[in-house]
Each structure stands twice: as C-alpha cells, then as structure tokens.
C-alpha cells in the first residue's frame, strides 16, 4: 500500500521501555505505549520471571497519542512489538471494536524471527525492523516514552 505524500500515521512501539533500552529503538516510532509490562511486585514461580500484565490504560494512551498529534481514530496506526505476534497482534485486537478503523501490526516486529540452525541458532537475526536495514539504535528519545492518559 503506497501512502499519499503528507498522509499521517501513528507508529507505536508496544514493548516495555526497559526491553527497548536493551534491544534497540527505531527513531521513526512516534510514541511508546507498552501493551504489557512486568509487575515487579509479582513473581511467577513456574516461569522464574516477574508476572507480566496488560496495560489497563493502553487504549486511553493510544487515544491521547492521536489527540496530541491532531490525529483521529481513522488515522492508520502501526503497532510494533519484538516479533510481530506476541504483543503486536493482541494490542491490535485490544483496539478492535473501539472505533479505530485502520490498525496494523508491523510484520516480524522490531527484532524479527530466530535463526533455525547453526552457531547463532535462536538469535533474532531474520527479518524485522532491525535486520532489514531500517534505522535503529540504542539512543532513546525521551519525548517518545511512554505516553500517559492523564
């Protein structure tokens, strides 16, 4: 789909800010609105990790990000997570039925898929924003982190 010159979109990174600090950031992102974040007060014994919980203000934060930029619910919203499916698809589903008419997930997300074999097996080096030659780095833009509904 070719976008008309001057057309507006909202590119949202739905990863947790701490994850972004360690895996990298795409400067093209308009705003970071985490879909899920670890709750440091809750430990998951079965997985030996902190309990991850949905951001109860996710939709309100998206609405605010649009409003701050003078955009509407008809503006295309591109949601990007680490791999495209783990948080990208569920975050799109969370906006479904709430008046957003053009919600999309960045295929393969920021880091892409894992290598199937060899010395780098299970490393995320296949496709995704980071592996496709698109601009990224470890320098974060504080103004894009995270938006608050209040």
Give residue-wise pLDDT tens across range 80-99: 998 877 888 999 999 999 99
Please report whether residue 130 resides in a domain. no
Q: Among 64, 67, 66, which residue's Cα sits nearest to residue 78? A: 66
Distance set, CA 53 to CA 37, 56, 57, 67, 146 (Å):
6, 9, 12, 26, 16
* HSE-up of residue 47 (Cα within 13 Å, Cβ side): 8
Task: Please report, for the domain that includes residue 85, its CATH number.
Answer: 3.40.250.10
Please report whether residue 129 resides in a domain. no
Quote the number of domains for the chain: 1
- Coil, helix or strand at residue 121: coil
- Model pTM greater than 0.85? yes
Please report whether residue 132 resides in a domain. no
> Mean pLDDT of all residues in the chain?
89
Please report whether residue 88 resides in a domain. yes
Please report whether residue 20 resides in a domain. yes
What is the CA angle 74-33-8, rounded to 5? Answer: 30
């Amino acid at each position: 789909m070719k976008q008309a010159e001057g057309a507006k979109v909202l590119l949202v990174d739905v990863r947790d800010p701490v994850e972004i600090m360690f895996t990298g950031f795409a400067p093209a992102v308009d705003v970071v609105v985490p879909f899920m974040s670890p709750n440091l007060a809750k430990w998951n014994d079965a997985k030996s990790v902190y309990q991850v919980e949905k951001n109860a203000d996710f939709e309100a934060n998206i609405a605010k990000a649009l409003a701050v930029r003078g955009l509407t619910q008809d503006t295309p919203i591109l949601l990007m997570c680490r791999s495209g499916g783990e948080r990208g698809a569920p975050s799109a589903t969370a906006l479904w039925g709430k008046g957003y008419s053009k919600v999309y997930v960045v295929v393969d997300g920021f880091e892409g898929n894992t290598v199937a074999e060899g010395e780098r097996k299970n490393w995320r080096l296949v496709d995704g924003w980071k592996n496709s030659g698109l601009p990224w780095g470890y320098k974060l833009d504080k103004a894009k982190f995270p938006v608050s509904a209040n």
